[in-house]
Amino acid sequence: MKNEMRALVKSKPEVGLWMERVPVPEIGPNDVLIKVKKSAICGTDVHIWNWDEWSQKVVPVPLVTGHEFVGEIAELGSAVENLNLGQRVSGEGHITCGHCRNCRAGKGHLCRNTLGVGVQRAGSFAEYLSLPQQNVVPIPDDIPDDIAAIFDPMGNAVHTALSFDLVGEDVLVTGAGPIGIMGALVAQKVGARKVAITDINPVRLKLAQDMGVEYVVNAQEKTLRELMEDMGMKEGFDVGLEMSGSPHAMRDMIDVMNNGGKLALLGIAPVKFEIDWNKVIFKMLHIKGIYGREIFETWYKMIALVQSGLDVSGLITHRMRIDDFEAGFAAMREGSAGKVVMDWD
């Protein structure tokens, strides 16, 4: 095992990431060292690249970034069980404490002491990544590397979409980024009656259409009331999946929810904003905030969804060598990409 590796590092408190040589992570008895094969770029990574207000508050400098990946096990800690050298794996990017009330109750996704891979601790934009063994997720042979590399964001979509019973329900997704599109496809796959997705970015809207989302709407050209007429709906949407972080989209969604409707919120707004809480109260809406994945139920469900025919490969619009990472980030920052997957080999 070599002592140094290449990695994308947030080495200065300013815009950008830099390819540097850093030490290969050391592993403890309960850790696994993973040789990364492919890395994907997340919206979080774009925030870190841009060095926005959120990043400045939470990201220590210097830090190896990234958390969407697939690789193979290169080294096992002395106490690790049920994993093998050379095994294909991805990993849960939220490192939980194991001793808080939620962790001890089997609800690790609610851990108040969570650390993010590539956000607060060394990440996967590197040749090697160290993870606790309980965060390592084996990848079945019938799941391609490219798909495994985007399981982290797909898990966000699956967690959000499966928060409520969708069978026979009318579902509205606001925000046609990759996670929004995956959420809409999951809803269609598991038996929603009608599924609509909205956005204002023409590239994303075309991608949603190409991926087979049933109703794709440019919110600048058609109101949600007009959409409901097109869909033959009279009362309102049963389930809303808010994936955009847009205050306007959130307010519009609340307006067209049916009484007793359910909202799952994943999109992160750039600023605080107001909604009409009287509508929430008098419509008796259920609102659930979503962060990350349920550990590890979401992983089992999304692997099963892909194995049973859910095809999200069309969301990968850019494939490139890791040395071309600047082009990948440029595509993400200008909104012309779905998912960008970068190859370390």
| Catalytic residue ranges | 44, 47
**Three-state secondary-structure class, residue 303:** helix
Is the sign of the CA dihedral 233, 238, 244, 249 positive or negative? positive
Report the alpha-carbon distance of residue 310 to residue 295 in Å, rounded: 21
Measured distance CA(339)–CA(82) in Å, rounded: 32
Q: Is 23 helix (H, G, I), strand (E, B) or coil?
A: strand
In the three-class reduction of DSSP (H, G, I as helix; E, B as strand; rest coil), residue 184 is classed as helix
* DSSP β-ladder status, 31-40 and 339-343: antiparallel
Under 8 Å between Cβ of 216 and 209: yes
Residue carrying the six token digits 């490139």: 320
- The gap between the terminal CA atoms of the chain, to the nearest Å, is 16
Pairing of strands 237-242, 257-265: parallel
> How many C-beta neighbours within 10 Å does residue 37 have?
17
Q: What is d(CA 215, CA 233) in angstroms, rounded to the nearest whole number?
A: 13
Return d(Cα 247, Cα 268) in angstroms, integer: 10
Question: How big is the CA angle at 120 (ends 118 and 125), to the nearest 5 degrees?
Answer: 15
Three state DSSP letters for 100-133:
CHHHHCCCHHHCCCCEEECCCECCCCECEEEEEH
Rounded to whole angstroms, how far apart are CA atoms 160 and 288?
9
Query: Which pair of tokens denotes residue 76?
Result: 């096992």
* Sequence-distant contacts of 108-116: CB under 8 A, at least 24 apart: 108/295, 109/159, 109/291, 109/292, 109/293, 109/294, 109/295, 114/292, 116/44, 116/67
